[in-house]
Amino acid sequence: CFIEKTDKLATCMEECKRMGIPVLPPDVNSSGADFTAVPEGIRFGLAGVRNVGEGVVGAIVAQRKEGGPFASLQDFCLRVDVKALNKRTIDSLVKAGAFDSTGYTRKHLTAMLDDAVDSGLKRQRDREDGQNGPLRPASPCPPFPPRTVRRSGSHRYGGRSGAPTRPGRATSPRT
């Protein structure tokens, strides 16, 4: 069965059902462009998901081969080239169940979508600009001012031990 032939798609799905072969939802960690045979059954192809084209599928599969399976939605957004996909494409993949293998619910994935895409886009732009480390700032931080050490008893409120006391309160020790 080829996904491009939608009229034959229903017939193929019925045939699989008649033979007792489960047709599984698409999965970013195991699906190809078209239907893929896996030990559990037949995995629906990523190209069969609305708003997902062949270029997107190629980028997903290439990144999966290079870096291994995707651990989460954030991992996916950090690794797959943002030039190949957009929020609508990822939302369609979430709704189709393509991220179910990551262990998150679709509702949770939908809630995380905007932040994951934005952080992935920012990280990829930083990489293109030559800022590879996640903790590397865009500009160098100013140095800290030199630290001053106060002597005991020289606190601004006049406490004997140097411990702060509130203004207007007695500074004598409690008994």
CA distance 133 to 148: 33
CA distance 135 to 153: 40
- The predicted-structure confidence for 17-65, as pLDDT tens digits, reads as follows 899 999 999 999 999 998 888 999 999 999 889 899 889 999 999 999 9
Q: In what order do the strands lie in the sheet with 23-24?
A: 23-24, 41-43, 36-38
pTM above 0.85, yes or no: no
Q: Is the pLDDT of residue 66 over 80?
A: yes
How is residue 100 written in tokens?
A: 């179910």
Q: Is the pLDDT of residue 157 over 90?
A: no
Task: Give 168 or 111, the one with higher predicted confidence.
Answer: 111
- The predicted-structure confidence for 75-107, as pLDDT tens digits, reads as follows 999 999 877 888 999 999 999 999 999 999 999
Sign of the four-CA dihedral 164, 169, 173, 175: negative
